Amino acid sequence: MRAGLFPEPLKRRARSDAPYLENCRVSLRNAAFTLIEMVLSVALMSLILTGGYLCLNAAFASQKIVEPRSEILHTARVAMGLLTSDLRSACTLSPDVEFLGMERTVGEVRADNLDFATHHYKPKRLREGDYAQISYFVESEPATGELILWRRRNPMIAQDPLSGGVREEIARGVHSLRVEYYDGYDWFDSWGELNSARKEKKSSRYASNLYGMPEAVRITLSFENDQGVAKKKKTANPEAKKEPPLVFQTVARLNLAAYANSTSTGGGSTNLTGAGSPDTGGNPSGGSVQR
């Protein structure tokens, strides 16, 4: 009975497939990677992982460099915008001090002062107009030694135009602030004077930067470029090479300077005939006004 379970054709077919099945079993026993193939695979995988790590590390390093610089760029854009907006609408500060720009330093760093009045002000309270007394100055923070750019605004006409009002922080991490003044012919490092007695003797033989208002102001503001570095790392390696500061410069023309100089008392108005543009170094630029 058991012999009759498998017909004769099936038996012949099983006998004919026996060599093929034997070859399959042999090939399955020999199916594996050789040593050379394994070494090549490991080497290729190491190269791929190393390349990925280097790319990722470079991306993180670039992010550490770009993020602080983008913040500095934004801070510089805001500070320059405030300075130029106030200067374009600058007017006479007081009969004794029309416009004052002082060259000064904080430690070994150039940190100039700037005092003037402006019509670039939006009234916030009663009895206020579009007039404010403005001061820009740099101070060092006692705790950290970091230089900070401040702005003082007083919307009232004070007896002392150089004090009073409220001051606000404009920018941190300042490296230096240099302000230059253009009278139509030359650039000066300072403008105006605090000695009011000089006003009575003012005449054309005195330097033009001692009275009146400048035609333009050139502002050079630089920021520390290593603000993203931890302070612990700075103190741990004080001899580490510092990055050069990021420097920003702009020129703001005082739109009301000609009118203020023409109406100033004591005959100290500036003759603007032939005065050139501040960008051309005094070359005639046309459109000059003689008051």
71 inside domain:
yes
Taking residues 79-108, what's their average pLDDT?
91
Find the domain containing 130 and state its range: 67-267
**What pLDDT is stored for residue 242 in this prediction?**
74
- Is the full-model pTM beyond 0.85? no
**What pLDDT is stored for residue 201 in this prediction?**
46
237 inside domain:
yes
pLDDT above 80 for 234: no
118 inside domain:
yes
**What pLDDT is stored for residue 244 in this prediction?**
87
pLDDT above 50 for 268: no
Whole-angstrom distance, CA of residue 153 vs CA of residue 151: 7
**What pLDDT is stored for residue 287 in this prediction?**
36
The secondary structure of 126-192, three-state, reads CCCCCCEEEEEEEEECCCCCCEEEEEEEECCCCCCCCCCCEEEEEEECEEEEEEEEECCCCEECCEC
143 inside domain:
yes
Whole-angstrom distance, CA of residue 271 vs CA of residue 262: 9
**What pLDDT is stored for residue 291 in this prediction?**
31
33 inside domain:
no
41 inside domain:
no
**What pLDDT is stored for residue 57 in this prediction?**
86
75 inside domain:
yes
Distances (CA, A) of 150 to 32, 179, 236: 75, 15, 31
**What pLDDT is stored for residue 3 in this prediction?**
52
Q: What is the chain's mean pLDDT, rounded? A: 77
**What pLDDT is stored for residue 247 in this prediction?**
94
pLDDT digits 0-9 by tens, 15-31: 555 565 566 565 555 56
pLDDT digits 0-9 by tens, 163-219: 888 999 999 999 999 999 999 899 999 998 876 554 444 444 567 788 889 999 999
Domain total of the chain: 1
Judge contact between 248 and 207, C-beta under 8 A.
no
182 inside domain:
yes
Backbone angles phi, psi at 249, to 5 degrees: -140, 145
